[in-house]
Chains A and B, each alone.
Chain A
């Protein structure tokens, strides 16, 4: 390579200074110069080219400038006087357009040619613009420099609607600024949670809720199809799902790309960024590079902290010293006033990792630290970030935290309060009797201790006797400590908690979902201080059901919290194929339906066709890829999902009844069909089976069903709580009614009572054993209005449930659940890869 030997040049020709040319008057370029000057103020004659027509400023403070919290003057780092005093030539508003490594010169847009002995490339990055139609319209801006901020401010002056594409750090700061400036802001984010690279689901959810509370519209899982224009100007954004959002300005904040074009055309080694060594030297020893444009040990950075470290190494190297840069661990904060959020390190958890979670629902706090091998490896804090820097420091120093582990989550003051205090029990012991334990109910430590001494020997007894921890539950840990301190080993464990993720029982959780109007899984986990970040395979499906039941028509079902059968709307088999059972109302079918079933069995190569114990037909061995197609065929013949897979209404078995049978007293077949039509599609705590028999001979086996009807001459005997499964249980007689419509109402009311009160995975038989038949009877029969109220709630919820899931899948919903991602054929050609989509 024909670059000059920098060491030779360092001797200086005739004692003249070496010429250092810097491309980029931004944060890294100028900091590098400052660091060099601090080490050797006379070594270089420095020229800085800046594409922006201004002095160097603190780019990260553009957010407060946009928000109106700061003026441009406040964020200038180096004034013109600084350049002058240090003999630096600033060429601003003039971008460098080429580098000639043979002659060691750079040329600017205006034609200025500058020779260098050493060149520093600090061109930063460029905003990434998604290549959608309309991206070049007037009013589409990025968020990178002061000019962008000026454009946003001009748009904000006129008011109206703004769309920000991208719900990461930059996008949310832009949205915040624009909304403070009076615009109505919608944030469009591709991923399901905001700032997904920095936050876990729980923190992302809290952030979204807070921004929505402040009036922003946050659309997650939203993919931009097009920016709509009118007369060359932005008018709105169209999403791939067809939704349109009006906007007079669109801010693209979907990411950045290192600005490497100049380096690449000069022939330097460039991968994602300009490749540098540990001294920030590029593949040409005369050329250095620093900032967001570089790639060091495979990593490109997008935050300033690493740049400061890079600049120090660079300056050492450029002034004859040595301080190699070895990469940085980064942390993130969001600069939105009133929202405290911090994230650092790896919080993906898993093998050998322990999550320590603390939630304080009353104060809106979520904290999670991840510990592995007695070291802190990650932290996410929302609502209270005071300890962020302490955690970050522990993380960077890889400090052994075994001594303070118990108290780690409570923060530095607590954990470092010294030996005894690091034990939470000891810390609680040290509290005065007046100290408030339960904020919600104003219960002091003295009161809790008195309650315990008065005989409350379990968490539950404390809750019911003095109300401590009975509301939001965030003081549960403190109450447990007090129990342990006061009673030692005599503490009784309370009623079964839902699972290890919570200290609440099923009933508590259900009650609080309603009382506190919790409408999403992460909201429940936050409000009820879940001990794990995202629950487990046992609580997620339960919560999904409880929410679905509490908020019909409002709650959005969480597919990923459903067991495979309910997610795939078919029963998984031992070989991974599925069985398909179409509904056959009351067990009645037609030649047409049978033909369609037969055709489907042939077409999709069902390996077994079987009549089930529930009076319908099961097709076995269907591949997951074929499910939407077989459902489309069955739908076309008028059949819908039989929910043979669900914690839901299964079948309504009937017998032939009065229409044909010589003993039949009522139209049991007809009533069975009506019952099935009323109840199908309903999600329940467990599966639910119904049968209607035409006389006490009971051919439909109604007395081992969850709800069974025995027709008699004078009307209908209604039976509940039967189970033919693992533990055989005959039904209890609930009551007798005279008309079909009374029977249907009672059925609806009983189901709703069960839906609202049973625990998830508790069938009617064990539920009735637990609460007692008398209780169920009292709920339904004591108050003459009870049945109609419950039945009305059931019918209301059915409006939203009776929507055939097969039809939606057959029409293409959630298609990815049925498709392979791709297929990999390693042979014969190595790189043949076909994408399924």
Chain B
């Protein structure tokens, strides 16, 4: 989500070791969207609403390569950094700012609560 607020309250969601590189895990938000938190092979962390902009496939279950996840349903490639569909596909899923500090993962509360799933593509 470009232009998202990056200041505010950061929620500690636990140690980095909970997600091994190349994998993702999920964080349901009551009253909001399920969030997918990714750990790339280069040890970066990213978070997206866990719904593909195409037909809401669970991105957390895709294959992670570089800073892209390939959706498990129809193989759209979604940028972990911007949430944007790559290549010819059009669509964008909200990102949630992530901070890693002293081995723990923090997500921005405001973004967690307000992020909404993208419209399904036609």
- Which residues of chain A have a CB within 8 Å of any CB of chain B? 190-193, 196-197, 200-201, 221, 223, 272, 347-351, 353, 355, 532-537, 540-541, 559-565, 567-568, 572, 574, 576, 816-817, 819-827, 830-831, 833, 835, 837
Contact between chains at B70 and A824 (CB < 8 Å) = no
Chain B residues lying within 8 Å of A572, measured Cβ to Cβ, are 58, 61, 72-73
Contact between chains at A201 and B31 (CB < 8 Å) = no
Task: Tell me the minimal C-beta distance from A343 to chain B in angstroms.
Answer: 11
Q: Which of A191, A201, A351, A532 contacts B81 (CB 8 A)?
A: A351
Contact between chains at A190 and B72 (CB < 8 Å) = no
A833–B35 CA distance with the chains assembled, in angstroms: 14
Chain B residues lying within 8 Å of A349, measured Cβ to Cβ, are 42, 66-67
Contact between chains at A826 and B113 (CB < 8 Å) = yes
A337–B22 CA distance with the chains assembled, in angstroms: 31
Chain A residues lying within 8 Å of B30, measured Cβ to Cβ, are 823-827
User: What is the 8 Å Cβ interface bit string for chain B, positions 19-47, against chain A (1 contact, 0 not)?
Assistant: 11111011111111001010011111000
Chain B residues lying within 8 Å of A560, measured Cβ to Cβ, are 20-23, 63-64
- Which residues of chain B have a CB within 8 Å of any CB of chain A? 9, 11-14, 17-23, 25-32, 35, 37, 40-44, 55-58, 61-68, 70, 72-73, 75, 77, 79-82, 84, 102, 109, 112-113
Contact between chains at B26 and A821 (CB < 8 Å) = yes
Other than the given A191-B21, A540-B63, 17 more pairs (CB < 8 A) read A201-B21, A221-B20, A272-B102, A348-B40, A533-B42, A537-B62, A541-B63, A563-B63, A572-B61, A576-B57, A816-B25, A820-B26, A821-B37, A823-B28, A826-B30, A833-B12, A837-B18
A562–B70 CA distance with the chains assembled, in angstroms: 12
A349–B65 CA distance with the chains assembled, in angstroms: 10
Contact between chains at A201 and B42 (CB < 8 Å) = yes
Task: Tell me the minimal C-beta distance from A216 to chain B in angstroms.
Answer: 22
A200–B29 CA distance with the chains assembled, in angstroms: 32
Contact between chains at A826 and B32 (CB < 8 Å) = yes
Contact between chains at B81 and A822 (CB < 8 Å) = no
Q: Which of B23, B29, B41, B70 contacts A537 (CB 8 A)?
A: B70
Closest to A197 in B: B43
Task: Tell me the minimal C-beta distance from A36 to chain B in angstroms.
Answer: 33
Contact between chains at B40 and A822 (CB < 8 Å) = no
A833–B19 CA distance with the chains assembled, in angstroms: 18
Most buried by A among B26, B29, B79, B109: B26
Contact between chains at B61 and A564 (CB < 8 Å) = yes
20 A-B pairs with C-beta separation under 8 A: A191-B17, A223-B17, A351-B82, A540-B65, A559-B23, A560-B21, A561-B22, A563-B72, A564-B63, A574-B55, A574-B57, A576-B58, A816-B19, A821-B19, A824-B27, A825-B29, A825-B31, A826-B32, A826-B112, A831-B11
Chain B residues lying within 8 Å of A200, measured Cβ to Cβ, are 41-42
Closest to B102 in A: A272
Contact between chains at B65 and A824 (CB < 8 Å) = no
Chain A residues lying within 8 Å of B109, measured Cβ to Cβ, are 826, 830
Chain A residues lying within 8 Å of B27, measured Cβ to Cβ, are 820-824
Task: Tell me the minimal C-beta distance from B73 to chain A in angstroms.
Answer: 7
Contact between chains at A348 and B22 (CB < 8 Å) = no
Chain A residues lying within 8 Å of B82, measured Cβ to Cβ, are 351
* CB contact under 8 A between A822 and B65, given known A350-B81, A537-B70, A816-B25: no
Task: Tell me the minimal C-beta distance from B1 to chain A in angstroms.
Answer: 13
Q: Which of A221, A535, A537, A826 contacts B75 (CB 8 A)?
A: A537
Chain A residues lying within 8 Å of B102, measured Cβ to Cβ, are 272
Contact between chains at B65 and A537 (CB < 8 Å) = yes
* CB contact under 8 A between A821 and B72, given known A537-B63, A830-B109: no
Closest to B65 in A: A536
Task: Tell me the minimal C-beta distance from B14 to chain A in angstroms.
Answer: 6
* CB contact under 8 A between A193 and B21, given known A534-B66, A572-B73: yes
A563–B26 CA distance with the chains assembled, in angstroms: 18
Chain A residues lying within 8 Å of B31, measured Cβ to Cβ, are 825-827
Task: Tell me the minimal C-beta distance from A362 to chain B in angstroms.
Answer: 25
A821–B17 CA distance with the chains assembled, in angstroms: 11
A223–B13 CA distance with the chains assembled, in angstroms: 20
A651–B22 CA distance with the chains assembled, in angstroms: 31
* CB contact under 8 A between A822 and B112, given known A193-B21, A350-B67, A563-B63: no
A13–B77 CA distance with the chains assembled, in angstroms: 71
Contact between chains at A816 and B66 (CB < 8 Å) = no
Chain A residues lying within 8 Å of B66, measured Cβ to Cβ, are 349-350, 355, 532-534, 536
Closest to B75 in A: A537
Contact between chains at A821 and B18 (CB < 8 Å) = yes
Closest to B44 in A: A348
Most buried by B among A541, A567, A817, A822: A822
Task: Tell me the minimal C-beta distance from B104 to chain A in angstroms.
Answer: 12
Closest to B58 in A: A576
Closest to B63 in A: A537
Closest to A821 in B: B25
Task: Tell me the minimal C-beta distance from B81 to chain A in angstroms.
Answer: 4
Contact between chains at A534 and B41 (CB < 8 Å) = yes
Contact between chains at B79 and A351 (CB < 8 Å) = yes
Contact between chains at B73 and A574 (CB < 8 Å) = yes
Chain A residues lying within 8 Å of B22, measured Cβ to Cβ, are 534, 560-561
